[in-house]
Every structure is written in C-alpha cells, then in structure tokens.
Structure 1
Amino acid sequence: MSFFIRGRRRDVKEKKGKKRGLKNKQVLPVKKSKFDSGLDEEITSDEEEEYLKGKVNDIAEKEAEDVETAQEKKVRLAREYIQELRKERENEDDEELDDKAVAARLQEEVLESAGKLRRLVAETFLEPVSEDFIVLKSKHQKLPITCLTVTNDGKFIFSGSKDCSIVKYSIEGKRLGHIPGGRKGTENLHTGHTSHIYSLAVSSDGRFLASGDKGGIIHIWDGETLKHLKKFKSHRDAVSALAFRHSSHTLYSASYDRMVMVWDLDTMAFVEHLGGHQDAITGIDSLARESCITSGGRDQSVIVYVIAEDKQLRFVSPHESVDGVKLVDERTFVTFGQEGSLGIWTTLKKRPHHMIKRAHGCQAENGLPNWICSATTLVNTDLVASGSMDGHVRLWKITVDRGHRKLEPLFSIPIPGVVNALAFTSNGSHLIIGIGQEHKLGRWFKDKKAKNSIVVVSMKKNV
C-alpha cells in the first residue's frame, strides 16, 4: 500500500472521529511564549483602555527618542558645543565675560565654516633671523625628507623619509619616537613601510596618524604611542597625499591610480571611492566641511568633491601640470606646479584670480623655471608659503581688491636644498620645513651641500 493511500485513510479516520464527537480525544497544551506572560488574563473594558493608552504613550516616547528632526539635532549639538566651550574657559565665575567669549567663538566658527573668516596677519610677521631656526636631524632618517605633518595644537611634528621611516619630534626639537622602515620584499614580515613614504596626515585631536607610500599602502598609527593600528591596501598605485577632515576621524587618500578614497578610522573601514581625474592625483586637502579638494597633475584640473551633495566642481588650469593644492579657507585655494607657477583661486570662478609665473626664478644652467615642490597656507588668513630648489622659502600675502585676489611677495627665508614639505602650526607661531638633497619623487637633481633634515622656524610678529 502506498504512502499516499495510508495518508488518505488517516485523514478519513480523523474526520469520522470529529463527526462522532469523541470525548476521549486528547488536546495538546499550548505553550506560552515568555514574552506573552500576563497578557492572557481577563481584563475589563476600562483596564483595556488604560492598557492601550499606556502602550501608545510608550511607543510615542520611544519614537520621539529615536526620531530627531534636523533642527532639534542642531540645537542639541549647539548646546553641547557651548558647554564644551564654557569648560575651556578658565574664569568661570564671571558669567557675563564667559558668555561674550562663547558668543564670539561661535560667530568665528560660523564664519570659518562658511569660508568667510579671514584674519589679516601677513604684514605682522617679521623676517626670521638665524636665532629663529632649529634644525632637527635624526640618525634614523638619513635620506631626503619627503613629507611632514603637525598636530593641531602645534606641539608635535611627524616626518616621513625616502628610507621608509617616520620620526616624531616635539616642536622644541626633542625626538620622541621612531617607526623604522623595512626593506623591499619584507612586506609580510615588517610592520610598517617598505617603500618611500609620500604622504602623512594627523587627525585634529592627534589620535590617529596616517602614512601612505609608493607601493599604495596606507598605515594607521596611534598618534601618541606610534603603535600600529591598521593597514589598508585598496589603492593600486602610490598614495600621493592624505588629509583628515577637521574635527573628525574621516580620512581622504589620493593616489596615482586616479582615485580618491574615503575612510572612517573610528571603525577602521573603507567608506567610498571618488573618481573624476584623468591622470595621477598629486595633492589633496580638506578643512571642516564634508568635502575635499584634489589636484590632478597633468590632467591640468582641480576637483572639489562635495561629498554630502554627491557633486564635483572642476577647475582647469592654464598650465601643463598642477602638482599640489592647499586650501586657504573653504572657498579659496592655492595651486603650484613644475612650471614654477603659483596661483590663487576661489570656488566662485573657473579661472585663477592671479597666477605668478616663475615664482621661484629660473635655473642658471638651462633657464628652466625652478619647480615649486611644496606650498602651505595659514588657514583663514592671508599668508602663503612656497618652497622650491632655489635655496629659499618664499612667503606671500593675499590681497583682495573688489573681490579679486592677488598674491604679493613678503620676504624669503634662506634654506639650502630641495623643500619637499611645508606646514604652519595652526596659530602661525612656527613654520616647519622638510629638506632633502633630492626631490621627493625622483633623482633628477641633487644638492650635496644640503642636509636631509627638518627646520623649525619661529615666526615672530611686530609688538
């Protein structure tokens, strides 16, 4: 007898049992869920209404906690920020003075985020003398310095070198730590870089240090202890530049593979990649907004990635190559390149406001312009510094006339060698210069008289 027939006969017997109304039929007990305890009790209509009202109120309260409007979020964050500012104030007894200081600080933050904050400080600086120089040279970095970065509080300096090592200094010149470099081919054995380091960046709170090398590797380190935290291998070519978004742990990386990648270091995870360049990306920078700006080398373009709105703003340079870009504020930026040109731009105009050709003069041997290897800005001010191979770091003042910006020379600082990296401390008290006998990307020229070192210049002002 087949299975289907047996199943059919069983169904027939069950139907007959139901018709006869068998009293001895067994009823299996229903198991109660542990979440339903107390819900099966008999309740009156009044109790039921109260019970339902309580449930509705609980749900409404939970939804109110979970769902926060954009305006409510702004108010909450503003209150938290005001509390943080008040804690920073030393004189908490004088509430009136404290409130005025907080209001002024908030107004400054608003102007800064809008790109409208501009302090006129360039003319207050004095030309440095020999007593204002401190030379930092480590036995662990015998090859040219290729990059450097400074913490937001201006206390620590990190430098990268062609020998694949990283050294940490205090602003006073004391060596505080060292990350050794490894030999090529030991990537699986050595914790750190095994090819030339091209880029460094430190988060605004000093918690994370990021370093990128010629092999496309990004390493993340603890900014205080230099302990290794993470290794990223997503780029397919050299990591030419790194930048942190201010007051966050969002890292932007630019590479010769023509891609910009966004990383979240709180979770140590990749977020997204950004395209748009047609050639190797040579520079990147970012401030407080959820955006970054990049230079595309020989594709002659600069792109502003507005990440929150998923938009790109493209600017085309009249010169053959744009080797680097630095933000002055959220709306103004500076570009530089191999042709020795230094330009000032704004996001409101597709062409540069002003372009200085041969900003560092020409080479005596062949008449070619000196390659501008690095530049930096004192953010939200009118001060710019540029470095080349002509033996001088030149400082420039940004002037504004009827909305038109222009670069004017201030003074120069004598520095023998190739200036591969520049950085101001956030308050402008020091200018940090990374020197090499060779250019950070190759060996096209060499200055044997120069020293591979870091030079800390104290920037003094008129009293």
Structure 2
Amino acid sequence: MSSFFTTSGAQKKRKRAVTTSDSPKKRLAPSSTPKPPAKSRPASNKTIERDESISGSDLESDVSGDEILDQESDDAASDESENEGETAAEKRLRLAQRYLEKTRQEVDDFGFDAEEIDRDLLAERLQEDVAESKGKIYRRLASELDFAKADHTQFRWNSNTVTGVAVCPPYAYTTTKDGFLTKWKLQDLPKDQWPQTTRKKPRKPPAPPKRKPERIRYSRSDPKKAKDKMFKGHTGGILTVKASQDGKFVVTGGTDKRLVVHDAETLTPLRAFTQHRDAVTGLAFRRGTNQLFSSSKDRTVKVWSLDELAYVETLFGHQDEIVDVDALAQERCVSVGARDRTARYWKVPEESQLVFRGGEKKTSKNVPAGSAAHEGSMDRVAMIDDDLFVTGSDNGALALWGTHRKKAIHVVPYAHGIEPPLKLSEVSAEANPDPKVIPAPQPRGITALRTVPYSDVILTGSWDSCVRVWRLSEDKKKIEPVGILGSSVDPAASEEGASLINRSAVVDNQTEVAEGGASSSIVRGIVNDIALFERGDRGKDGLCVVIVTGKEMRLGRWKTMKEGRCGAMVFEVPRFPKQQKKMTTEESNGEVVMSEDED
C-alpha cells in the first residue's frame, strides 16, 4: 500500500495542487496514479459544492446536489474504482451526461419528442416550398376561412368609375377612368383580432374598429401632354394597375396606349412605354420577380423587365383584342382573347403556346328556355397553379382548364345567375303588345376574377351585388360553391356544380335577393376588379380582399347601373377558430396512454 513516505515528490506536488491551489491549469491536470479513498474525500469539498451549483443552475434541474451525492454514495462500491482518478471537469461532464440520459428516458416514457415535432414542422414547410417551386397546388384554404363573417368597409374619393386595384401590404392602389392613380393605406389589424382561447374558457376579443383606408397621395393623367413623347405619365384614362411584390414599382396601363412605371413610394412616374399600339387592358407580375406581362387591344402580349426598365419581347397569336393576363412563379403566362374565345398559355423560354378553345354551348335544366347560353367573349383569367387556371366569360360561365387537356375540365354555367325578365311595357309602346316580343333573359357576365395562388380559393364578381366564393375540389376536376363574401347565404350546389339560377328571385326592378332572405346590398355597382393578400405568415391571420366598383364596366358602357356606386370595399376574412386539443393521461396496465379531447 502506498503511503506518504513511499509516494514520489511529483505526486505529492500534484495532490497539493488539487486540494489547496485555485489555478485552473493545475486543477485540470490529468492524474495518472489513483488517489487513496481516505485522502480524496476530505479534499473534494469544493468540488462537491461546485457540482451542486452545476446541477442546480447550469443544468436547470430540480435534482439537488445532495440527491446526486446520495446516489453516488449508494453506487460507490461499483463506481469508486472507475471514478477515483477523474478531475473536477470530468466529474461535471459525467453528472451532466447522467442527467441528460435520465431526462431522455423520462421523455421516451411519455412519448413526447420535441426534436421530432420540430422535424415534422420543418418537413411540412419544406414540402410547401417544394410544391410551390414545382408549381403545384398545396393549400386547402377554403375550409379554413370564414367568408360569411367577413367584415367590410367602404371607401371612395371621386365619383368616377374605378377600373382597377392592386395591393402591396399595407397599401392598396386604385385607378379610375378619368386618369387618377390613388394610394391608400389599409387598416392594420390588432394582434388579438381573431378568436383566442385560454385554459379556463374560450374568449373572443372585440372586433377591430372599421376604420376606412387612409388616402396617402395620388397622381393624375394630363391630357394636354398627349403629343409630348418625353412625358412620363398618362394622358388618358387608366384601365389596370399592378404593384410589384418588393414594393418598389406600381405599373398602370390605360386607353392612351401607355404603360407607365411609377415609384411606389411617391407615385412619381419613372418611365412611360409606348410600344403597344392600342389600349393596355391587363398587367401581371411574375411572382417573386420584377418581370411584367402586359396585354393590349392590339392583340399582343408584351414582356418587360422593370429592374432594367426595358422592353423584352412580344408574344403573337390572338385573333382579337386581349383583355386580361395572369402569371405565377414560372416564366409563363395565360391570356384571354375576348371574342376569339380562346385562352392561350404562353411558354416564354420555349417560345411556344397552348391554345384552349371555348365557345361551347352549355345547357341546364334550371335555365329558362330560349335564354342566351353561348359564350361570346372570354373576359377574365386567373391562374390557380402552373397547370390549372380558370376563365370567366360574358355568358356567366366559370370554366376550369388544365394544361394537359384542350377542353375545359369543368364549367359552371350562369355562375352569377341571370337578369330578371323585362316588363312588357318597357319592351313595347303598343297598347296590347305581344308577350313574345320580350327578349330571353340574359346571364350576368363575370367582370372580375381572382384566385389565391397555389390554393383552392376562387373569387368572382359581376353586377349581382355580391362577390361569390368558389373552391377547387380535392380531385382538381370540379369547381364547387362556398358562399357569398360577407353573407351567410348557403349556396347549395346542383349536380352541374354551382348553378345559381334557381335561387335568384326578382323582388322589383332594382333589388333582388337569393333564396334564404339575404339582401343583395353588400356590393353596390359592377365589380370591375379584385385584389387580395394573406395576413400574417402564410395567411395565419386571415385574408384581406379589396374590390372596386363602378356604375359602368371598365372597358365600355354597354352595361350601366344607375343605382351603382363608384368606390371600393375592403373585406377582412377571418379564419375559423382552431380546435383546441387537450392532452390527458390515462394509466392502463401500468402504461401511460395519451388521448386527445377536442373542444
């Protein structure tokens, strides 16, 4: 047995450094010879105190240092020979590893793994990003949004027809036929806007005040500069507007054949392009970029790069004026050619196009005999994802198209119903006119169309005093009705998909209601355009929809409404409250079972 007299001087010196010296270098020096148990216990008081502080503060454990000491004393017979020569740092590491192992075993017993939950959330987010990069639909929002309880606020500035609207949160931009471009600041919702719950009982915060959007600034076209080629602004009415996602540019197109790029902050015109030979009717930004597509009555689609403020190329193919265009993330776009009754899917890098022909006559049992059902003009288009898009026509048909099929996948006839029949006295001035002179009831055309990109939500507008909500079926082969924006009417669908004819009842010449008693006074006027954006991260706080209305259509005056109103409306669509899941534990046969109770 080793003793003080037989131990070498170097070992004596190291032992004195461990017991008396506070130098970290000497304390952490490795020991090659085991220490006697009788001598090491009194000399490790400071080490034990230091270990107690680690287990109580650094490890944030509810296991005290005394419990660790007692546990080690119980296992001293088995561990003493292995741990005699360890330093203070090695002992702290061993205790930390033991605590982590114990915690891991407790977590495994209850079946809860935070790492696995984080991994699942990350995997879901990555799946969404991959789906968006591939251009596929990946979200089902129609069942998560409460469109019937959408709060609405009206706002207006001048009394001219509003033709277009664009949004770039928190701002909205509107245009009018008399050449005004106006910038508005939308309402910022409070953080506790949507229903929340506590452990005690559900609690719903009060609704936010219906504050009207604030007008920030405006710019106006100057007809006197029509002959000035150096003028950077508009010289006539404005028909369409779009804002870039980065908030730098606002682009407008008008009847003066000009495409004007404005600074989004000040609305100062940066440059006016005059390559189009007729009125500019539609604009669409490529998602996430400053590449722009424009459509015109000159039967062309032009491509622009706003980063360089330069013209890129022209796409030819339509046989009639192009009235609308839309695009998503890929370098492709879809346009509709009015009375050539075609939708064209342009693949810009490949310099090719796909042609989709409409104009087929659709009949329905709910339609009165002799009513006009032929598609005369394709007026609106919106992309759902990079393979699916929808079109709206003057005969009220809402059609779903896919890039792998030339014919429409599904058609909803008379999506907004038909006009009431004219009175006999309005048709003829004779004393006893023949009832046959009354023309067949005409359908309400689709004047506005918008989708939430890469989701199943579709919004349409007409002059039936409402904005209708539709969804894409799970098999992506049908369009199903959801409801009316801001109204609790239940649009029960027929087998054809969503024929709303049998639910339109005439009250008088000015006012109509649908079955169920809901008034049609939500929207006053012809809906000329729709813009929307999702509030919060990926729409967790709902959907904001902005529509613009007028007494006449944006491209003409063949349909007017004397009772209409020229202005705009903001709809705040909340999400349905999430079902709160309570985790309860039940012990069965000595095992812990996790069960879920849904409120």
TM interval, short-chain normalised: 0.7 to 0.9
TM superposition shift of 1:449? 2.6
SS of equivalent residue, structure 2 residue 473: strand
Aligned twin of 1:331: 387
Query: Which digits, 9 at most, give the CA deviation of each residue in 1:27-79, with x for residues without a partner?
Result: xxxxxxxxxxxxxxxxxxxxxxxxxxxxxxxxxxxxxxxxxxxxxxxxxxxxx
1:133 matched to 2:152? The reply is yes
TM superposition shift of 1:247? 1.4
1:182 matched to 2:222? The reply is yes
Query: Which digits, 9 at most, give the CA deviation of each residue in 1:173-210, with x for residues without a partner?
Result: 11112112323664539652222211111111111111
SS of equivalent residue, structure 2 residue 529: strand
Aligned twin of 2:355: 314
CA contact (8 A) 1:254 1:281 kept: yes
Aligned twin of 1:362: 418
SS of equivalent residue, structure 2 residue 478: strand
Aligned twin of 2:572: 458
SS of equivalent residue, structure 1 residue 111: helix
TM-score, normalization: structure 1? 0.74
1:176 maps to amino acid: I
1:107 maps to amino acid: Q
Query: Which digits, 9 at most, give the CA deviation of each residue in 1:238-290, with x for residues without a partner?
Result: 10101111111111111110111111111111111111111111110111101
Query: Which digits, 9 at most, give the CA deviation of each residue in 1:208-249, with x for residues without a partner?
Result: 111000121000011122121111000000101011111111
Aligned twin of 2:99: none
1:423 maps to amino acid: A
2:142 maps to amino acid: A
TM superposition shift of 1:168? 0.7
Which of 365, 384, 391 is the equivalent residue of 2:465? 391
Aligned twin of 1:278: 319
CA contact (8 A) 2:347 2:353 kept: yes
CA contact (8 A) 1:245 1:289 kept: yes
Query: Which digits, 9 at most, give the CA deviation of each residue in 1:100-149, with x for residues without a partner?
Result: 766644432220122223211212322445x81111212xx320110111
Aligned equivalents of 2:246 and 2:339: distance in 1? 35
TM superposition shift of 1:412? 4.6
Higher deviation after alignment, 407-416 or 180-189 = 180-189
Aligned equivalents of 1:278 and 1:338: distance in 2? 18
Which of 223, 226, 237 is the equivalent residue of 1:196? 237
Aligned twin of 2:164: 147
Q: Do the aligned partners of residues 266 and 99 (structure 1) sit closer, same or farther apart at CA in structure 2, a change above 3 Å counting?
A: farther
1:410 matched to 2:508? The reply is no
Aligned equivalents of 1:324 and 1:386: distance in 2? 10
Aligned equivalents of 2:419 and 2:384: distance in 1? 29
Aligned equivalents of 1:247 and 1:332: distance in 2? 19
1:112 matched to 2:124? The reply is no
CA contact (8 A) 2:387 2:402 kept: yes
CA contact (8 A) 1:128 1:457 kept: no
Gaps of 5+ in 2: 1-113, 188-212, 361-374, 423-438, 487-521, 578-599
Aligned equivalents of 2:178 and 2:130: distance in 1? 43
Aligned equivalents of 1:205 and 1:310: distance in 2? 28
1:433 matched to 2:567? The reply is no
Which of 304, 327, 341 is the equivalent residue of 1:263? 304
1:223-234 residue pairs with structure 2 within 5 A? 223-234=264-275
1:331 maps to amino acid: D
Query: Which digits, 9 at most, give the CA deviation of each residue in 1:383-419, with x for residues without a partner?
Result: 1111001111111121133x52333343354312100
The share of aligned pairs that are identical, in percent, is: 33
2:221 maps to amino acid: G
Which of 319, 326, 341 is the equivalent residue of 2:397? 341
Higher deviation after alignment, 415-424 or 176-185 = 176-185
Aligned twin of 1:16: none
CA contact (8 A) 1:236 1:257 kept: yes
CA contact (8 A) 1:182 1:190 kept: no
CA contact (8 A) 2:225 2:231 kept: no
Aligned twin of 2:341: 300
CA contact (8 A) 2:283 2:325 kept: yes
TM superposition shift of 1:96? 9.9
Aligned equivalents of 1:231 and 1:185: distance in 2? 12
Aligned twin of 1:248: 289
Which of 400, 418, 422 is the equivalent residue of 2:530? 422
2:153 maps to amino acid: I
SS of equivalent residue, structure 1 residue 410: strand
Higher deviation after alignment, 103-112 or 305-314 = 103-112
TM superposition shift of 1:460? 1.5
Aligned equivalents of 1:242 and 1:107: distance in 2? 30
Aligned equivalents of 2:140 and 2:285: distance in 1? 26
Aligned twin of 2:186: 171
Q: Do the aligned partners of residues 127 and 305 (structure 1) sit closer, same or farther apart at CA in structure 2, a change above 3 Å counting?
A: closer
SS of equivalent residue, structure 1 residue 323: strand
Aligned equivalents of 2:161 and 2:223: distance in 1? 17
1:390 maps to amino acid: D
1:124 matched to 2:165? The reply is no
SS of equivalent residue, structure 1 residue 133: strand
Aligned equivalents of 2:274 and 2:121: distance in 1? 46
1:199-210 residue pairs with structure 2 within 5 A? 199-210=240-251
1:411 maps to amino acid: I
Aligned twin of 1:54: none
Aligned twin of 2:503: none
1:416 maps to amino acid: R
TM superposition shift of 1:457? 0.5
Aligned equivalents of 2:464 and 2:479: distance in 1? 23
2:242 maps to amino acid: A
TM superposition shift of 1:436? 0.5
Aligned twin of 2:259: 218
SS of equivalent residue, structure 1 residue 355: strand
SS of equivalent residue, structure 1 residue 179: strand
Aligned equivalents of 1:263 and 1:443: distance in 2? 31
Count residues with an aligned counterpart: 364
